[in-house]
Amino acid sequence: MKRNILLMIADDLGRMTGCYGEPAISTPNIDALAGQGTRFDMAFASTASCSASRSVIFTGLHTHENGQYGLHHDHHHFMTFHHVETAPALFNALGYLTGIIGKVHVGPPSVYPWTVRAESGTRDIGWVAEQAGAFLETARHADKPFFLTVGFIDPHRDATRSGFGNDDFDDDDEERAFRPEDVSVPPFLSDLPEVRLELAEYYRSVHRLDRGVGRVLAALEASGKADETLVVFVSDNGAPFLNSKTTLYDAGVHLPLLMRVPGARAGVANPNLVSFIDILPTMLDWAGAPAAESARRGRSLLPIMEHETLEDDWRLVFGSHTFHEITNYWPTRFARTPRYKYHRNVAWQLDFPFSGDLYGSLSWEGMRNANPSTIGRRPLKAYVRRPPEELYDLVDDPFEVNNLADVPEHQRTLHELRARTEAWQRETDDPWLYRDGMSVRAIAHHLEAGLKLPDRFDFDPDAPGNR
């Protein structure tokens, strides 16, 4: 049996599907896929930015390890380091036919050498399915196993202030319109007319994505290879709204991850905390790739694919965000356990930046002009101006509003998660592990020569001494 792989990546979907508890959106194909395999209920991206998150999926490395710190396209121009092993390169070496259809959004091409590259910004799911069918036919004639990635454009925003590419499909009888009064406003957003208007358009885009997933899966079934193919479905980051995309709050990084493994039990709801750095090791494990030394710290999910209990060694994940757009510098790291979330905001003195598409949105205009100005349950000022550390009890506060970092009763948890985060930063050689306002990595040679480094996050001009 050839061990094929189909990876489907939604663009800005978040957990806005029926199988993840959103009843107002119709996603029958994604929900069916969840019922046929494993739904990971505690899956986390490392970062909530499109290019950066995809680079984590394709490399198994956090962005501070692989170099894809932010967006790849246009003047942003972030690139994965040339020495980093990527999924297309690894599977090419294993004798696979590799291909990508639709959104690519990582680079350079020499580091991501897909054999078939049908890059496009189209939302035409018919074209996507046709390309998928053609690729599968090419793999059949080549008599090779395949690794195919489908990068959907939906449900990303378009270039308008409230649109999601829907106007191009007004003549499509399969399109479904939603009314603003019928949407379900998630708690991370404010219930305002502008928000409801955008959510209604967003729902339509999500519904089109779902039909695209169904068509690609139908092409796989028609190829006769479905029973030999690992199917993975994931979103790169949270929904394209404030409090979600570009933030490391759960709305931005707690995401869908579905896997259908041939021969495995269906209908599994897996509670273990898994990271997007685990996706590439899982695909390599499925392909039977020989074990090799690597900087990757992710683990294959195949051994726990059918588990429905939380295992002791799957209770902690980390994340790393540095840029979205080139002007959106705001390095932050997080640690997540089943109960607690710790954020280390390195450049906390800077206002949290707005991405261009979210700043121009009607939903943001509505929220900034409301009285009082809030983003969901979070005061606007608390969204823009954040402290150096945040700690949340997600059992009592699932939307990360009440920061416990300065609460005496929670200091033990704060110190434990701070220590574990810093240990992870050291293990991954993170340049944004800071002391006294300096990158510890940048001055490592001076520390070896006797430089004394004050044990504090930031430089204090009122107490500048280090002796």
Q: List active site positions.
A: 50
Distance, CA of 316 to CA of 319 (rounded, Å): 10
CA distance 296 to 366: 43
Instruction: Return the structure tokens found at 93.
Output: 């070496």
**Angle at 191 (CA atoms; ends 188, 196), nearest 5 degrees:** 100
Residue with tokens 């195949």: 302
Q: Could you tell me if 166 and 201 are in contact, meaning their C-beta atoms sit under 8 angstroms apart?
A: yes
Are 275 and 60 in contact by the 8 Å Cβ rule? The answer is no
For the four alpha carbons of 102, 286, 134 and 112, in that order, the dihedral sign comes to positive
Q: What is the Cα Rg of the chain in Å?
A: 22
CA atoms within 13 A on the CB side of 243: 24
CB 269 within 8 A of CB 239: no
User: Which uninterrupted H or E stretch holds 32?
Assistant: helix 28-36
> Which 8-state DSSP code applies to residue 49?
S
Q: List, in sequence order, every beta strand (DSSP E) within 17-96.
A: 38-44
Query: CA-to-CA distance for 104 and 102, rounded, in angstroms?
Result: 6
Distance CA 47, CA 65 (A): 13
**Is residue 94 packed enough to be buried (19+ CB in 10 Å), middle (13-18) or exposed (0-12)?**
middle
Closest-CA residue to 126 (of 211, 220, 234, 205): 211
- Name residue 250's amino acid: D
56 CB contacts (<8 Å, ≥6 apart)?
45, 46, 47, 62, 63, 66, 276, 277
Q: How many residues does the chain have?
A: 467
Q: Which residues contact 333 (CB under 8 A, 6 or more apart)?
A: 248, 318, 319, 320, 321, 343, 344, 346, 421, 425, 430, 432
